[in-house]
Amino acid sequence: MQTTVVGSYPRVSNGPEGQRLRKAIAMWERQEISREDLRRVQVDVLREVVAEQAAVGVDLVTDGNITWYDPLSHFAAKMDGLEVGALERYFDTNTYYRRPQRVGPVHWRGPMTVEDYSAAAAASAAPAKPVLTGPYTLAALSAEGASEELVMEFAEALMHEVKALAAAGAPHIQINEPALVLRTDLPRGYNHIAGLVLRGKGNAKTTLFTYFGGVGPMLDDLLMLPFDVLGLDLVQGASTLKALAVTDVEKGLAFGLVDARNTKLEDPKAVAKAVLAFKDRVPLDRSYLAPSNGLEFLPRARAREKLEVLVTAAKLVGEATT
Amino acid sequence: MSNALRTTTVGSFAKPDYLQRARNRHSAGKVTAKELDGLTRQATKEVIEVQKELGLDVFVHGEMERGDMVGYFGENLPGMRPGELVRSYGNRYYHKPVIASEVRWDAPVTVDLWRYAQSLTDKPMKGMLTGPYTIVEWSFDEHYGSRREAVLAMARAIHHEAEALAKAGAKYIQVDEPAIHTRPGEDFDLAVEAMGVVVKGVSAEFHTHICYGDVPKIYPGMLRLPVTQIHLAFKNANFELLHLLEADPWDSKKELGLGVLDVHDHHVESVEEVKEGIKHALRLVPADRLWIEPDCGLKTRTPEEVRKKLRVMVAARDEVRRDLAL
């Protein structure tokens, strides 16, 4: 069993050196440094968090979403037809995002994540996985909500991004759809929408990750979607475990079993045991152990310790299944 | 003081550079607690002077002693321990505390500085507390494992602090609950119950401040909160939220705190746009129950921006009073 992360990673840590990105952004906002100066610091921190994940032993790393203001406006600000508006709470977290508002037809303007992916790939011994916020979540958290038309426009825009990432050599691309947990069924036509997003993926493997809640009632439908791996938050979404217990799964799962929203550390043995309960129903050799969602909700040192729990638990699963 | 369109602010002011430097140096062990306290009081005095100069009706002490509204209680309530930095949005971070054991209240936390601030002015000084729901929601709970148990334990601790402020003479006590709409369907009732625990038997006028997030989901339910005033951030979305009050009338016994300045925008509002918002609100809430305030704490803005924005707020209030002969 391999290990991966969901996307974000804490971008500051204790001490002056750990806060260099925060300082650089403040200086850039005051126009004391150039955009290029800021980018240098961003890439430096991005490399550091990639290296940190790899050093702990994570098999499939991310860029930590280091350059994202938030998971919505990072994309909305880079697409045509959208403005970035008021601050809104991001799900039930203590973080906020700027709400996108459609002001015209939404179009892909150019790569939004490729540079960061390339920087991560170059800095990592382990393969890097770019992450995109999915079309349903982008629409559902925008001012007008998830109209079919808007979801479709986002899907078309993301299709171009997936294509650009595949062309840049991304071996694995992940679509994050946390807003699906707010529903009890898949949005109408989501299979088609997912197919559209992934149309240009080439040989890249793909993951769909849902988090901040359970998806039990739609688990069967999620498993039918054209992704190689389905990522599940099994902490805040522990209710999904019940549905999972009676489902035979053919594709890989990303078991989000380590709580990325609480500092309390799990016992790796307990995490391994929770995974092993599914060894006869889920192909563990194609599956991953993961945090329940992005790790940015934790302090940096604790995020790293959570990764250590993941890696240790994955080893225990490996030992128990060979 | 006329009761029509009273002005106040939500709580925090930007820390002057000398205080921020001293706080950093204190963390590094290079400034003593006594030295830091002296500078905190100096900065508090400056905040009071600004409010005097602007002619606000009810003052705040500016929260010069607090890193942030939750972290501060994490540092001072037994059972909690200070946390490390996590991001809240954009480039803003806070020390997210940890609930490590049973939360208690042993002694007043905020009263000394409140007393000092009140001694500098005849205007009423608000006591400033963070609400139990928000403290729990914005902390890591390693102890209770049940939101209900944690929130009610926190409410008992904050109740003691409110009681201490009232005993010291605070006429107004604000209990901030910006996290109250985090899970509106799931546990808004818990937040209301917790506020009831905080205010029970305390003789003061309670205000609460709620900002951002899904306010429509808790309106009109929020009118069940046992407080005199509910303050909401209106300017952030150009007074769009006032439509809620058009659909469901405001409680005739409650005051509305109208946020008229966007604290996340460098742009200084015009007097006209603030007046327009106030006049819109006056069609829904009478002047003696409508308070004029910024959207949120002012610590996000520079001292110069704060002055400019508050000047606009007071000028708009004065013009509306004149226009409508209030």
Residue B237 has pLDDT above 90, yes or no: no
C-beta separation of A133 from A97 below 8 A: no
pLDDT digits (tens, 9 = 90+) for B94-129: 899 999 999 999 999 999 999 999 999 999 999 999
As a whole number, mean pLDDT of residues B85-95 equals 91
Which two tokens mark B49? 């002077």
**Closest chain A residue by Cα to residue B236:** A86
Which two tokens mark A153? 């426009």
**Nearest CA distance, A260 vs chain B (angstrom):** 11
Say yes or no: A321 contacts chain B, CB-CB below 8 A. Answer: no
- DSSP annotation string for A41-53: HHHHHHHHHHHHH
Of B98, B140, B183, the CB nearest to A92: B183
Residue A89 has pLDDT above 90, yes or no: no
Give the number of beta-carbon pairs within 8 Å between A and B. Answer: 74
pLDDT digits (tens, 9 = 90+) for A257-278: 999 999 999 999 999 999 999 9
Q: What CA–CA distances, in Å, run from A40 to A34, A43, A45, A78, B179?
A: 10, 5, 9, 20, 35
Say yes or no: A33 contacts chain B, CB-CB below 8 A. Answer: no
Q: Considering the domain boundaries, does residue B1 fall inside one?
A: no
Proportion of chain B above pLDDT 90, given as a percent: 90
- Write out the residue range of the structural domain in which residue B154 sits: 6-323
Partners of residue A179 in chain B, C-beta under 8 Å: none
Residue A303 has pLDDT above 60, yes or no: yes
Q: What is the pLDDT of chain B when averaged over all its residues?
A: 95
Partners of residue B141 in chain A, C-beta under 8 Å: 262
pLDDT digits (tens, 9 = 90+) for A31-73: 999 999 999 999 999 999 999 999 999 999 999 999 999 999 9
Q: What is the pLDDT of chain A when averaged over all its residues?
A: 96
Partners of residue A14 in chain B, C-beta under 8 Å: 84-85
* Least confident among A13-17, A264-268, B195-199: A13-17
Interface of B with A in 220-259 (CB under 8 A): 236-237
Residue B233 has pLDDT above 80, yes or no: yes
Q: What is the pLDDT of residue A62?
A: 98
C-alpha torsion A88→A50→A213→A266, nearest 10: -130
Partners of residue A70 in chain B, C-beta under 8 Å: 89-90
As a whole number, mean pLDDT of residues B298-316 equals 94
Interface mutation vs chain B, best among A263, A266, A296, most B CBs within 10 Å: A263
Q: Which residue has the tokens 């005993």?
A: B167
Q: What CA–CA distances, in Å, run from B221 to A31, A145, B206?
A: 44, 23, 18
Look up the CATH number of the domain holding residue B67: 3.20.20.210
- All structural domains of chain A, each given as residue ranges with its CATH number in brackets, are 2-11+51-321 (3.20.20.210)
ipTM of the complex: 0.91
Of A96, A300, A301, the CB nearest to B89: A96
As a whole number, mean pLDDT of residues B64-71 equals 94
Beta carbons within 8 Å of A28's beta carbon, 6+ residues apart: A34, A35, A37, A38
Residue B2 has pLDDT above 80, yes or no: no
Largest CA distance in chain B: 56
Residue B166 has pLDDT above 90, yes or no: yes
Of B140, B213, B236, the CB nearest to A89: B213
Proportion of chain A above pLDDT 90, given as a percent: 96
Q: Considering the domain boundaries, does residue B49 fall inside one?
A: yes
C-beta separation of B232 from B241 below 8 A: yes
pLDDT digits (tens, 9 = 90+) for A102-131: 999 999 999 999 999 999 999 998 999 999
Across the interface, whether the CB atoms of B236 and A86 are under 8 A apart is answered yes
Q: What is the pLDDT of residue A248?
A: 94
Which two tokens mark A296? 């940015």
Of A14, A89, A302, the CB nearest to B212: A89
Task: Label residue B1 by pLDDT band (50, 70, 90).
Answer: low
State the total domains in chain B: 1
Classify the phi-psi angles of B12: left when phi > 0, otherwise alpha if psi is within -120 to 50, otherwise beta.
beta
As a whole number, mean pLDDT of residues B46-53 equals 97
Q: Which residue has the tokens 């401040």?
A: B209
Residue B221 has pLDDT above 70, yes or no: yes
**Closest chain A residue by Cα to residue B144:** A264
Of B85, B142, B236, the CB nearest to A299: B85
As a whole number, mean pLDDT of residues A1-23 equals 94
C-beta separation of B275 from B41 below 8 A: no
pLDDT digits (tens, 9 = 90+) for A189-223: 999 999 999 999 999 999 999 999 999 999 999 99
